[in-house]
Every structure is written in structure tokens, then in C-alpha cells.
Amino acid sequence: MRSFLLCPLLLVGLLFSNCKKTQVVQPNQTIYATLQPGNWQYDNSTKTYYNQVAVPQIDDYVTQTDGVLVYITSDNTIYEALPDVLDGVSFIYNYQKGGITVEAQGSDGSVVNPPSQTIGLKIVLVDSQAD
């Protein structure tokens, strides 16, 4: 009796082990840009320096649905995720249709000199699907 029940269970196990799950992969997009030392502008009302980068891939759909991540590097080897504090300077970013704005301010809220070297950016657009 025991072997009689075992055969159907093995058959069911074999049938269902071949089922494949369908997985949808959402591809991300990576964009590289640079912040040039001469392009920092000072905003007196916020006491911050800011540098804007055009990113035409950021459209209305991206701003409403997708995610945007930004990383900075000074040597194109080590990337730091923003927001971050480097050498007492706090870096943050915001994005809007058409671009990214990176802001630099003293980590204690003080005014600091803008970066004097070129800063590399890695901007990752994370594709998402709204419910």
C-alpha cells in the first residue's frame, strides 16, 4: 500500500518541478557626467554652492515613477553615494526634469569654498513600475 501511494507522489513532484517562474527584469540606466570646478554657483539664500548637470534622460516619467541615484568620485575608482560628507563638505543632490543639481555646504552649516577639482558623477536611473 505504501509503494502504491509513493508512485503518484513522485509523479506529481516531477510534473511540478519543471514549472518555470516568469520574472520581469527592469533594466537600469547609468549615465556618467562631470562637475567642473568653474561651474559652481553660490546661492546666498541657502548659503550653498551648487552645480547643475543636464541629464535629458530624466523626463516626466522618470521624475514621477523611477528612482534616481547619484554617486561622486574624484579618481574614477572609488564612488561615494550621495548624500555624503567628504572633508567636512556635505554633498546632496536633487533632480528635476532634464537635470541633476549637486549642492555643497559645510557639514556644520557653514559656508565653504566650492570644490576646486573636477568631480565625476555616476547617475543611475532605476526603472520602476507604478502600481
Does residue 92 belong to any structural domain of this protein? yes
pLDDT beneath 70, residues of the chain: 1-21, 24, 26
Structural domain span for residue 46: 26-126
Start-to-end CA span in the chain (Å): 51
Read off the C-alpha cell for 111: 559656508
CA distance 72 to 64: 24
C-alpha torsion angle, residues 101, 109, 107, 64 (rounded to 10): -30
> Is there a domain that residue 6 lies in?
no
Question: pLDDT, tens digit, for every residue of 15-39?
Answer: 555 556 677 676 899 999 999 999 9
CATH of residue 111's domain is 2.60.40
Name the domain count of the chain.
Answer: 1
